[in-house]
Structure 1
Amino acid sequence: MIDHLSRAVISDPEQNLTSEKPEISHILPDSKLAPIRFRKRTLHETKIRTQSTLTENILSHKVQFDGRIISRNGHDACRELVGFFFTHDQSLTIYEYRQFGKNRTNVLPFIKKNVYCHQRGRRKGKQYRLADLYVGANLTFLSSDHPRLPESVKENTVLTLRITNVDWRALDSLKTDSEEHDDVTSEEANDRKILKAIQDLLKEQLRRRGVRILTGLGKHLQQLDKEGNGLLDKADFKQALKLFRLEVSENDFESFWLILNSSGNGRADYGEFKRAIIGEMNEYRKSFVRKAFMKLDFNKTGSVSIIDIRKCYCAKMHPRVISGHSTEEEIKSSFLETLKDACSKSDEVSYGEFEDYYEGLSIGIVDDEDFVNVLCTPWGI
């Protein structure tokens, strides 16, 4: 199905044109009733040659990738996306998996096939290339260019998609063929160096108190966002770091702010602020966080009631329960208390709040499989 998707929307425009030169002289009078072997076929049925260069052979030079939306809206954050990048014209297209009932899944157009450019960062205005496709990369699009996007997605001027998986074999093959290499500029390399130094410093401070700090910080920044657009100014971020005793030198913060506020408007998205200054768990870990939340959020509303979380959370295999130091109820109550402290509403948990909890937990767990085991065991996934 995936392979058909990558070709369907951009099939050769001449595919339905009949050839001037008959291929078979004994075509039956009604070609629709004739056996397939006697019909004059189109591109969908045979490898007919056309004058256009937009053929299946060229379109087969593509890279498939999976993605997700970076959003505070829980429903949007859990959308499952699959995209294709075509090397012949450097274009891309993205689809969304949609579940209809228990057993039916459709794939619907999300981003139409076109050539796109970066909308943020040092590469703003530059066209997307193969080198931009890697796990953890962000693809940015102007929401106004895509009127069919869901209304909740169009609320933001820029739509940001995170690549969660890439067909590495196809990518490596096409990179070799085109001799395309990542051309990280000195400015980008310096930005990464600054951010990593700050993240390493803060992660050391968060090692023992990551969960409560990150959940509390997320809730605090949300409360500061009186306009509800996710944007805060420089003073708000400095005050938040001070409040939660996250120590960053003045010089480091100024360098960080220049990177975050690349547009120069004096404001930045607080979600981007958290991801940039503290870092975030890798996409492998995050895929399990999303899987756990999607299991709880069976109505796909983007939030889950505390009552449902209490019903689903199982502490039977918790190390302290197994050792006899705590009861299942004590572990469950402790978990719910910490989670509720992060919530803006007392009776429900949003995806962002759920993710913040596990972001904090992730800081103290070095091994990916250990983290996945800690996350999956109580939720039964």
Structure 2
Amino acid sequence: MDLEIKGVAVSSRSQTQLFSRRKNPLHQEWTSRSWSTQNSCPLEVPPLDLGSLVDSDEEDDFSHAPISTVPIHFDPPKLSPALGWAVPCYKTYMQHHLSEVQDIIPEDLPAPSGKYKLKYQQYETDMKEGYKQYIQRNAEKAKSISIHESSRKQTNEKCDQAEEASMDDLMTLDRKALLQQAYAENPSHKLHCAQKSEAETVAVEKMKQTVAEQMMIDQLCRAVISDPEQNVKIKKEESTCFLPDSKGTPVRFRKRTLHETKIRTNSTLTETVLSHKLEFDGRILSRNGRDALRELIGFFFIRDKSLTVYEYRRFGKNRTNVLPFIQKNIYIHQCGRRKGQQYQLGDFYIGATLTFLSSDHPSLPGSIKENTFLRLRITSINQVALDSLKAFSGGAEDVICEEANDRLLFRAIQDGLKKQLHKSGVRILTGLGKYFHHLDKEGNGLLDKADFKQALEIFHLEVSEKDFESSWLILKGNGSDKDRVDYGEFKRAIIGEMNEYRKSFVRKAFMKLDFNKTGTVPIIDIRKCYCAKKHPQVISGHSTEEEIKSSFLETLKDACNKSDEVSYGEFEDYYEGLSIGIAEDEDFVRILCTPWGI
């Protein structure tokens, strides 16, 4: 039978051209006859529009192909008698499945008996009751779990809040400050530091020799001339009668120099007397950075129990000068348990504090004269000379019992606070410095008892009432004011301070920054001088140099009263707090030497 189908005129040439432009070309050419032979169907199959079966892509556009009617002859397929064409084509989906599904429930079931109905009702009641109990148990269990979870959650929230508060503090200041301790883990340039320390030792010895020579020259040249006893002898000689001599000159008009005078006094010094001396280095305990950085060298003479202090001053790189700071004389304790007693050999040791009245020394700078006392801390001492002088003088004097008890009291308080200050020392010490500076309206450094108690409460420093009262009586006896105490002395007594070996490197670092000797350093200069290239985290790549530098500057700025500069006291407080958590002196020295290059 012939069937006309509207579509594309099929030919071998045109069909090859059309399908060769498709994305996936066919390897076999189709013809209308082969397609009709392979896909034969009965007469009832509706005609297909082959032109509508093309892809929707623009490249498969068949609009240019002519539409024509092509007669196609279909031969009906020869089917086996067992199978019929109409079975899969004309049976619907429901009829096909209904024929396969058999009836599960028979229609002729008998009605349930009364016994069965009773059992069913009992079973239904038991099931409902069991389900109610199951719901109640689940509800009670969920309620107990929710109560337990809520209480545990509240407890955890409280702990988390406390931990977060402490962690926030560590993240903001303490954790960033503790990054500086990582320098102790990098002993890479230990040899370089050793070589530099040897050179510095030679320079220090040369400086001390210069000061000692200048002291000997001053004392030998000025001792006799400045002695009041010489004036008395001159007046006696002038009162005696003698004939006028035209060639001679009266004694009162003669040139009085060491080499021309013939007068010998009882207190005339000799080089032998001056050679029995104890040499020590000192620094001034002051909040003024310019005074605190003065290089002082003192001498204690065992023959007459006198002492003198000289200042070594540097002017540029090559110019230096040695000037007397405290004149040679016999001095006494101005405060403390031994107030009014003369200084003895046992009063000189590393860490000892010598006190002088500022009014007794008119040549002192004006910034020092503002305070009643001049406190001089001994930073280093000639141990060989001290041992020989002890043997010569028959041993040093014993420390009185009251002073020993005072030291034990302060040491016990410091040990109790050390755990609290182990990781937060930088934040607390710098905060205390700012707080005391804010309370010091007069600028003399003196605060009363209530101010110190309030400061301990604000910074959560636990000191018992008994220890506080005992320490207050001791500190009040060391000062000039009966009702107020210097807050620098209070911090050193209650919290403690780093040893003089560590503090000497803090002074070196600040003196390198403070090249103008003003006592303050701009933040810009600190940023320029601080080097974080050798920080372990920078070397490993975990942090950048700028991140380490920014963390240091952020914690240092928090200690400053002014945002654009750092004073020596603030710089010292920063490293004072950092020193609490470092056990070894060499580790602390490496922390200072590595970033500052000292």
The TM-score, its normalising length taken from structure 1, stands at 0.89
Are 1:150 and 2:399 matched, yes or no? no
In structure 1, the residue matched to 2:211 is 2
- Is the Cα–Cα contact under 8 Å of residues 211 and 322 in structure 2 kept in the other structure? no
Alignment correspondent of 1:139: 354
The CA distance in 2 between the partners of 1:227 and 1:366, in whole Å, is 38
In structure 1, the partner of 2:335 is 120
What is the correspondence of 1:1-381 to structure 2 with a 5 Å cutoff?
1-11=210-220, 13=224, 52=266, 54-262=269-477, 263=479, 265-381=482-598
Please report the RMSD computed on the Cα atoms of aligned residues, expressed in angstroms: 2.0
Q: Which runs of 5+ in 2 are unaligned?
A: 1-209, 231-256
Equivalent-residue separation in structure 2 for 1:115 and 1:325 (angstroms)? 60
Runs of 4 or more above 4 Å deviation = 50-53
Residues 293-314 of structure 1 deviation map (CA, whole Å, 9 limit, x = unaligned)? 0000000110001111111111
Q: Distance in 2 between matches of 1:196 and 1:54?
A: 43
Give the AA of the match of 2:424: R
Deviation at 1:322, TM superposition (A): 2.1
SS in 2 for 1:109: strand
Rounded Cα–Cα distance in structure 2 between residues aligned with 1:300 and 1:274: 26
1:325 offset after TM fit, Å?
Answer: 2.2
Q: How many angstroms does 1:324 deviate by?
A: 2.3
- Which one-letter code corresponds to 1:346 in the other structure? S
Deviation at 1:278, TM superposition (A): 0.7
AA at the equivalent of 1:143: S
Whose strand proportion is higher, 1 or 2? 1
For 2:365 and 2:576, how far apart are their aligned partners in 1? 27
* Cα distance in 1 for residues equivalent to 2:543 and 2:341: 56
- The CA distance in 2 between the partners of 1:249 and 1:51, in whole Å, is 59
CA distance in 2, matches of 1:330, 1:169: 47
Q: For this pair of structures, how many residues does the alignment match?
A: 354
Distance 2:562 2:316 in 1: 30
Greater fraction of residues in helix: 2
Between the aligned residues of both structures, percent identity stands at 73
TM-score by length of 2: 0.57
Give secondary structure in 1 for the equivalent of 2:219: coil
Q: CA deviation at 1:205?
A: 1.0
- Kept in 1, the 8 Å contact 2:211–2:310? The answer is no
Q: Distance in 1 between matches of 2:225 and 2:308?
A: 21
**Whole-Å separation in 2 of the counterparts to 1:153 and 1:43:** 34
Q: 1:208 and 1:174 mapped to 2: Cα distance?
A: 43
User: What is the CA–CA distance in structure 2 between the aligned matches of 1:237 and 1:321, rounded to whole Å?
Assistant: 41
Secondary structure of 2:526's aligned partner: helix
SS across alignment from 2:420: helix
1:168 deviates by 1.0
What residue in structure 1 maps to residue 122 of structure 2?
none
Cα distance in 1 for residues equivalent to 2:448 and 2:287: 18
Distance of 2:523 and 2:293 partners within structure 1: 19
Q: Distance in 1 between matches of 2:284 and 2:418?
A: 25
2: CA distance, partners of 1:5 / 1:276: 37
CA deviation digits over 1:211-236, x for unaligned, max 9? 11111111111101011110000110
Q: Which of these two proteins has the greater Rg computed from alpha carbons? A: 2
CA distance in 2, matches of 1:10, 1:181: 26
CA distance in 1, matches of 2:316, 2:596: 23
Q: CA–CA distance in 2 between the matches of 1:308 and 1:51?
A: 56
SS at match of 1:135: coil
Q: What amino acid maps onto 1:13 in structure 2?
A: V
Distance apart, 1:10 and its partner CA:
2.4
Gap regions ≥5 residues in structure 1: 18-41
